[in-house]
Amino acid sequence: MNKKHSKRKAFKAAAWALLPLTLVVGWFYPIVGFMVLFCMFFGISIAFFKGKFWCGWLCPRGSFLDKFIAPFSLKRFNSAPFQSSLLKILVLVFLMSFMMLQIYRAWPNVNTMGTVMVILLGATTLLALILGTFVHHRAWCMICPVGTISSFIAKL
């Protein structure tokens, strides 16, 4: 294994901790919720240069699912519904609309906007845990809005 590859594996092994850390600390210090936006923008920005590199190597939720859910996942995966562009776009539009509406309502209170991000992270993580347990540990990743946008960018 080369040095570059081992650094990536080491980061991936540690990245999972950002998910529970953001969720727990975010409830007490809502400003931490902006870490969600950072991850979203960073994941999408990387797509211009490396495609879906974020999803496979850097995403805290993906690393968490790999580490904790994969061993218990039923892995009864029919990928066809999750590969549907329509489903991916519907999830993207729904979650982004929800986020923008809630940020608009919370504006200009930074703590409330951070809370919106923590709640959104918690809800999507709960969905990822359910899908991960009963379908496949990375089922959420196939419909994740950041992954969807990254895929579209990577195809350009």
Whole-number pLDDT of residue 12: 79
Model confidence band, residue 28 (pLDDT cutoffs 50, 70, 90):
very high
What DSSP element (H or E) covers 91?
A: helix 85-106
Indicate the average pLDDT of the chain.
93
Q: Which long-range contacts (CB under 8 A, 24 or more apart) does 12-18 make?
A: 12/57, 12/58, 12/63, 12/66, 13/63, 13/67, 15/58, 15/59, 15/60, 15/63, 16/60, 16/63, 16/64, 16/66, 16/67, 16/68, 17/60, 18/60
Model confidence band, residue 1 (pLDDT cutoffs 50, 70, 90):
low
37: Cα separation from own chain's centroid: 10
Whole-number pLDDT of residue 79: 76
- pLDDT tens digit string along 74-129? 988 777 888 899 999 999 999 999 999 999 999 999 999 999 999 999 999 999 99
- pLDDT tens digit string along 128-155? 999 999 999 999 999 999 999 999 999 8
Model confidence band, residue 33 (pLDDT cutoffs 50, 70, 90):
very high
Rounded Cα gap, residues 38 and 31, in angstroms: 12
